[in-house]
Structure 1
Amino acid sequence: MSESDTTARRSDEAGSTLIDEIIRMSDFTFDRLPMLDIIGDRMVENLSVALPDLMRAMCEASLASLDYIPMGKVIEGLPKPTFLAVGTGHPFVGEILVVMDQAVLMTAVELMLGGNAKNVDLDNTDPFTAIELGFGERLASAVFAELERSLSVVGAANLELDRIETEAEGAAIAKNTSLCARLRLSLTLAGNTGNLDLVIPYDALEQILPDLGKVYFGDRMVSQDQWRGLIGAQIERANVDLDVVLSENVFPLQKIMSWRPGDTIDFGIEEGRDATVTCADTPMFNVSLGKRNNGYVAVQITEKLEILEDHEDDGNDN
C-alpha cells in the first residue's frame, strides 16, 4: 500500500469518527448552559485561594474545557488508578462526581504531609493506599465546599461528600446514555500539573436549568477580598532577615585606615546591655543581651518600637 493510500485511509477513518460523533450527539436534546462557564471560572478562583491554605503551596488553576458528553464516555476516559468522589445535596437532583487524576492527588498528598512533591511518582499504576485515599477525601471535601460557594451565583447550595470510589463502576451516577456536563479544571501544584473533573448529569440540573440558561456575572468583590486574604496569609508566612545592632561607635577615619588583621577593637558590649533589632534597616524592637544555658547569645525583647512613616511635605507652612 502506498503512502498516499495510507494517508487517504487515515483521513477517511478520522472523517468517519467525526461523523459518528456528530450523529451520536444529535441524539441528545439539550441547551448549552452559559452559567456553567461562569461557575467554572468561580471554581478556578476559589480553588486558587482554598488549596494553598490546605496544602501550604501555591496553586495555579484554569478552566480547561466544558464538555457535554454521555456518562459512558466519562467512564471510558477515567484515569488509572482511579479516584472518584461522589457528592450530593441541593440544588442537584441526584449525585455529582469529582474525578482526580494521579498527578493532582499524589502531589496534594505529598504537600499535605509536609513534602515538596519533587519526587512524586506519577508512573505508578498501583491502586491508591488507604492513607492516600484519606488525604484525597480531605481534598475532595474542599472541592465540594468551593463548588458550593461557586454556585451562589445562581442560588443557595448545600453540598457534601457522600463517598469515595476507586473502581469505574462507582462512577455510574447516571445511565451510560445520559448526557453530562463535564468541567475540566487544570491544576498546577508544586510544578506538577494534572486534571480535576467535575461531572454533573444533565438531569441533576433540573431545578436550576432556567437559572443556568441566563448570563449573570454577579458581584466580584467577594473574590477580590479572598485574594487580599490569600496575599496577607502568604506575607505572614514569609521569611525575613533580622539584624541585632549590638553597638554603634564612632572612630576617626585615620584610625580605621590603620587597622590590620589581628587588631582588637573593644566595643564595650556586656551581658544585659540594650541593643536594637532591625528589619530592612528599620528599627523594630529594643532588646536586652544575655546567654542561654547552652552558651549561645540571645536577646530578650523589652520594647516594640513604633514604625514612623515619612510623609511628604504638603507645602503648607502655616
Structure 2
Amino acid sequence: MNRILTPQEMEEQNGNLIDEIIRLSDFSFERLPMLDILGERLAENISIAVPDLTRVICETSLVQLDYVTVAQAVEALPAPAILATCTGEPFDGDILIAMDSTLLMTSLELMLGGEVKELPKRDSADFTTIERGFSRRLARLILDEFQRSLSVVVDSDMECVDIESDPDAVNFAQPASLCVRMKISALMMGHAGALEVLVPYDALEPIRPKLGKIHFGERSNGNDKWHDQLSIQIERAQLGMEAVFAEVTLPIDKILNWKRGETFDLFVEEDQEATIVCAGVPMFRAALGKKNNGNVAIQITEELETKGEFENGRNDH
C-alpha cells in the first residue's frame, strides 16, 4: 500500500528533483547505451577472473551506473579505499579504479591462503607496503577485465600508473567535469566489498560515436573469457581409461553360485591385445608389455574407427 506523503516531504522531493535538473542542465552530454552493457560485462568478467586469484567464488553485480561530476564521485568514494589511476588507449585522459578495504583485505587473505572469518574494522587509510602491492595486482586484474569488456567496441592498451589511498592526492580529471561512475558489488566468503570505476566523460571523446550505438556480439580481438576459462578447466580435467583384455558372458545362476577359489576360463592367449575404453567408447588397441622397472604397461598398436566417430560427434556439438 502506498504511503501518503506529507506536504513537507513532497516539497523536499520536488526540491531535490529541481536541483538534479539544474545540475544536469549545466552539462552538454548524451547517455551512451554501450556503457550500460560494458558495465554489466565488467561485473560478469570480474566474477570469473577474481577466483583465479582467490580460489573462491566471487558474486558480482552492477549496482549503479550514473553520470556525476568528478568532485561528487570522489567525495562519495568508499573510505578507506585503494585508488588506482590508469591511463592508455583509447581514452583521452585517465580513469580511476577504487576498491574499498573490505574487497582488498578479503582478496589479500584469500590470495595468501588464509580463511576469511572476520575482518578487522579499519579507520585509517594507511595501507602497508604488502597491502599496496597486492592492491596493485588486484587493480591490474580489474583493469584487464575492463579492457576485455571494452573489446566489444574497440581495442585498448592501458596500465596502472599510480596507487593512492588518499582521495585528495588523486587528480585524474577536473573536479567540475562530468564522469561516468560504475558501482559494482563483489561478495566473497560472506564479505561484500565495493568497487567503482570512474571514467571522465571528456576521456571518452575518441570512442564516443562507437559507444552511442549498440554492438551485438562483436569482438575486436576475438577474446572470450568463457572460452578461455572452459579450455583451462578441460585441460585440468582427469579422464579414466580402462584396458579390457576379455569379456565373457556367463549365466547369472552360475555367477551366483561362485565361491572363493573357483576359476573360469577367459579364453585369452598370450599375445592377446587389449581394447582401451574411455567413457564406454573403444578408442585403441594395445599390446601388453613390461617396462624396465618391472611395471606392467600397454603399447597402443591401432586407432579404432569409433574414436574418429566420437571426435566428429564432439566437434558437431
TM above 0.5, one fold? yes
Which string of whole-angstrom CA distances, capped at 9 and with x for unpartnered residues, describes residues 121-176 of structure 1?
A: 46423465443432332232233233334445554533111011223334443344
Q: How does 1:155-304 map to 2 (within 5 A)?
A: 155-187=154-186, 194-212=193-211, 214-217=212-215, 219-220=217-218, 226=224, 227-243=226-242, 248-249=247-248, 251-260=250-259, 262-263=260-261, 278-283=277-282, 286=286, 300=297, 302-303=299-300
- 2:116 maps to which residue? 120
Asked if 1:309 is matched to 2:274, the reply is no
- 1:22 maps to which residue? 20
Does the Cα contact within 8 Å between 2:153 and 2:219 map onto a contact in 1? Answer: no
Gap regions ≥5 residues in structure 2: none
- 1:136 maps to which residue? 135
Shift of 1:108: 3.9
Alpha-carbon distance in structure 2 between the residues aligned to 1:186 and 1:234? 26
- Give the superposed CA RMSD: 4.6
Gap regions ≥5 residues in structure 1: 313-318
- 2:93 maps to which residue? 94
Alpha-carbon distance in structure 2 between the residues aligned to 1:99 and 1:287? 62
Alpha-carbon distance in structure 2 between the residues aligned to 1:141 and 1:105? 13
Alpha-carbon distance in structure 2 between the residues aligned to 1:81 and 1:246? 67
Does the Cα contact within 8 Å between 2:151 and 2:221 map onto a contact in 1? Answer: no
Does the Cα contact within 8 Å between 1:81 and 1:125 map onto a contact in 2? Answer: no
Which string of whole-angstrom CA distances, capped at 9 and with x for unpartnered residues, describes residues 197-242 of structure 1?
A: 1101233334444554x31415536698613333233233334445
Q: Which moved more, 1:179-188 or 1:22-31?
A: 22-31
Q: Secondary structure at the residue paired with 1:309?
A: helix
Does the Cα contact within 8 Å between 1:186 and 1:194 map onto a contact in 2? Answer: yes
Which string of whole-angstrom CA distances, capped at 9 and with x for unpartnered residues, describes residues 250-304 of structure 1?
A: 55544322234x55658999xxx976664432345648587999xxx96645328
Letter in structure 2 aligned against 1:120: V
Shift of 1:305: 5.1
Q: Secondary structure at the residue paired with 2:309?
A: coil
Return closer, same or farther for 1:309/1:157 CA change in 2, 3 Å cut-off: closer
Identify the match of residue 33 of structure 1 among 31, 34, 42.
Answer: 31
The percentage of aligned residue pairs carrying the same residue is 36
Return closer, same or farther for 1:235/1:109 CA change in 2, 3 Å cut-off: farther
Shift of 1:98: 0.6
Return closer, same or farther for 1:197/1:299 CA change in 2, 3 Å cut-off: farther
Shift of 1:52: 5.4
Shift of 1:31: 1.4
Letter in structure 1 aligned against 2:134: F
Shift of 1:22: 1.9
Alpha-carbon distance in structure 1 between the residues aligned to 2:170 and 2:278? 55
Which string of whole-angstrom CA distances, capped at 9 and with x for unpartnered residues, describes residues 69-104 of structure 1?
A: 233332333334412211012333332101123454
Q: Secondary structure at the residue paired with 1:160?
A: strand
Does the Cα contact within 8 Å between 2:97 and 2:198 map onto a contact in 1? Answer: yes
> Across the two proteins, how many residue pairs are aligned to each other?
297
Letter in structure 2 aligned against 1:135: F
Which string of whole-angstrom CA distances, capped at 9 and with x for unpartnered residues, describes residues 46-78 of structure 1?
A: 546655556666655543321112333323333
Q: How does 1:58-73 map to 2 (within 5 A)?
A: 61-73=60-72
Identify the match of residue 11 of structure 1 among 6, 9, 12.
Answer: 9
Alpha-carbon distance in structure 1 between the residues aligned to 2:88 and 2:214? 23
